[in-house]
């Protein structure tokens, strides 16, 4: 179970504290068990500092605290504080990245049977799509939906999201697309062939939580080969 420790203190020497944290990161490289550290300053009280440190488990947090470098840095940190820091130990019982959830919902909507949904709950009105298959970028919700409808008219498909990595306003998904070629695609009449394609999509999210920009990278050459479009060139 993921474990999080909240460390609260009061200090007017935040710059020095940040340098101490940098020193700890450098000195414990390859040994520390913390996976994520975040430092926040109270907007209503600039001297109130909160550090959030995440570990894979409580046991790993204990291992980390026993590192000699951790002990030394902690003593130096206490010297910068106005009073003793306080600690809150938390076992994480729910952990959701909302951008990751949106990515999964987006791919589910693309592959859902029936009419394509409006997607206005997922995509920003001014969404901007970069796809190497297109000579120009696709801009605007209506234009992007038209592009998705073209794929849906040409293929019955499903998308398996293999991995999602999210950070800040960006998320990157690695996916596998499996389809049946049922309609015209780039001048290729329906073949009925079963095809697959792998790719990556990078997402940028707007302040409203919707997808504002996408960058697509996929095995277009492999897809065209499976559809037989390269047979004449190879012969």
Mean pLDDT, each 10-residue run in order, the chain (235 residues) = 93 90 86 89 94 93 90 88 93 90 97 95 97 93 97 97 95 98 94 97 96 96 90 57
d(CA 147, CA 156): 15
What pLDDT, in 10s, does the model give residues 38-64?
999 999 999 999 999 999 999 999 999
Contacts of residue 210, defined as CB under 8 A and 6 or more positions apart, other chains included, come to 102, 121, 122, 123, 124, 127
Smallest CA-to-CA distance from 147 within 114, 185, 105 is with 185
Q: How many CB atoms lie within 10 A of CB 84?
A: 9
pTM of the model: 0.78
Domains and CATH numbers, the chain: 3-91 (3.30.70.100), 98-234 (3.10.450.50)
What is the tens place of the pLDDT at every residue in 118-151?
999 999 999 999 999 888 999 999 999 999 999 9
């Amino acid at each position: 179970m993921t474990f999080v420790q909240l460390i609260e203190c009061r200090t007017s020497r935040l710059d020095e504290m940040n340098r101490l944290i940098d020193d700890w990161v450098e000195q414990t490289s390859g040994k520390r068990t913390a996976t994520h550290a975040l430092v926040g300053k109270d907007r209503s009280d600039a001297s109130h500092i909160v550090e959030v440190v995440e570990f894979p488990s409580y046991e790993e947090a204990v291992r980390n605290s026993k590192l000699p470098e951790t002990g030394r840095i902690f003593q130096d940190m206490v010297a910068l504080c106005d009073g003793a820091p306080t600690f809150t130990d938390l076992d994480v019982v729910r952990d959701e990245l909302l951008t990751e959830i949106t990515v999964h919902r987006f791919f589910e909507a693309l592959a859902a049977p029936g009419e394509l949904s409006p997607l206005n709950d997922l995509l920003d009105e001014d969404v901007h799509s970069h796809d190497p298959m297109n000579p120009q970028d696709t801009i605007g919700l209506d234009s992007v939906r038209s592009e998705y409808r073209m794929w849906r008219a040409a293929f019955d498909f499903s998308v398996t999201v293999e991995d999602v990595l999210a950070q800040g306003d960006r998320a990157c998904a690695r996916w596998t697309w499996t389809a049946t070629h049922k309609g015209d695609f780039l001048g290729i009449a329906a073949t009925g062939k079963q095809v697959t394609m792998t790719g990556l999509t990078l997402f940028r999210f707007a302040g409203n939580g919707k997808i504002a920009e996408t960058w697509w990278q996929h095995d277009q050459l492999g897809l065209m080969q499976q559809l037989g479009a390269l047979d004449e060139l190879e012969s």
